[in-house]
Amino acid sequence: MTESAFELPQELEEFRGLVREIVEERIGLARAAEIDEADEFPWDVHKLLVDNELMAVGYPEEFGGAGGGSLTFAVFIEEISRVSAGCALIPLVSRLGAIPVMLAGSDELKKELFGGIARGEHQMSYCLTEPGSGSDSVAMKTRYRKTDSGYVLGGIKRFITNAGVSDAYTVFATADPEQKAKAISAFVVYKRDPGVSFGKAEHKLGIHGSPTREVYFEGTEIPADRLIGEENQGFTYAMRTLDYSRPTIAAQALGIAQGAFDFATRYTTERQQFGKPVSHFEGLQFMIADMAMEIEAARLLVYKAASLVDAKDPRMTLFASIAKAFAGDTAMKVTTDAVQLLGGYGYMREYPVERMMRDAKITQIYEGTNQIQRVVIARNILKAITG
């Protein structure tokens, strides 16, 4: 029997099995429900990932990581998200913060941050969004100015995932708001730096256990070697980062959808109505069939997008947006249908599908809304036609 061209490499499937075993046995739906209820960062899960060398996945070995590219990392995030999307953000957000350093940072920053993340000494967050600039990121107001010894930053970043928990932040700031993208630079800022503080924890619909706060910089002085890459190239780094990170958000959405589908379909084979399992009713079978088709289509898009990133294929921007938009929409639809399959029970917190439905919504919003993804998709297609 020949191996299908659409099969992942055997070693990656073995890695998936290892992650699934750890997540199901050491986290599980019960702990995921506790994290959702308490809405506090699960330090025990962070330690679990560190102890099993999973926080090292996705970072180059020469800088203290365990290797593995975007496809490996996507499988990793997919498997955690099947049980807990909030827990998946522990490795996901650190890597998001680290991607600009991967793309343009110095070897010293890479050694310090990547090895530190792998060992559990560092966590990173990504500071791009502001009160007045979400989708319109070039409208940022956070400023920086150069000094004899480095840089001084001042401003506010909003909706920063794991703010306060992370000790290192990739921060985008502008030397002159009037120059838009041309004046934006990227920096590494530590929680311990002077003038760094945090706002209140936001009360969110979903992805509980992953704090979201504002981050404030008031006269924050940092040394010159914390500049990522070159001055005035920050917007380029931010956009390239999204090409790398959007397939990972798509993988999170895929995992959420798969987790809800697994639970709901199993439930339909056990729940009895009119003297037989509800899975015998054609109306529900059609729902299950649609859910399965959408999940499998999303999976192929996620893996293709991640593979294009690994190959540095110029199509990666297009497919990162396609995968993110399709998987996010799929997660929302599949989790909503999963709640419907459970009927009244699906609406109760005793069952995990309502949590998964709440978690799914953010995958249509962060890392660029799905409306923005459609703008990116259309522009790429039309550009290819018109040149």
Distances in whole angstroms, Cα of residue 189 to Cα of each of 179, 216, 223: 23, 11, 10
Catalytic machinery residues? 367
Contact status, residue 240 vs residue 103, Cβ threshold 8 Å: yes
Distances in whole angstroms, Cα of residue 335 to Cα of each of 101, 195, 295: 35, 42, 11
DSSP β-ladder status, 168-174 and 272-273: unpaired
Taking the C-alpha atoms of residue 113 and residue 115, their distance in angstroms, rounded to an integer, is 6
Residues 6+ apart with CB under 8 A from 281: 273
Q: Which helix (H) or strand (E) holds 329?
A: helix 316-341
Contact status, residue 99 vs residue 247, Cβ threshold 8 Å: no
Residues facing residue 276 across a β-bridge = 273
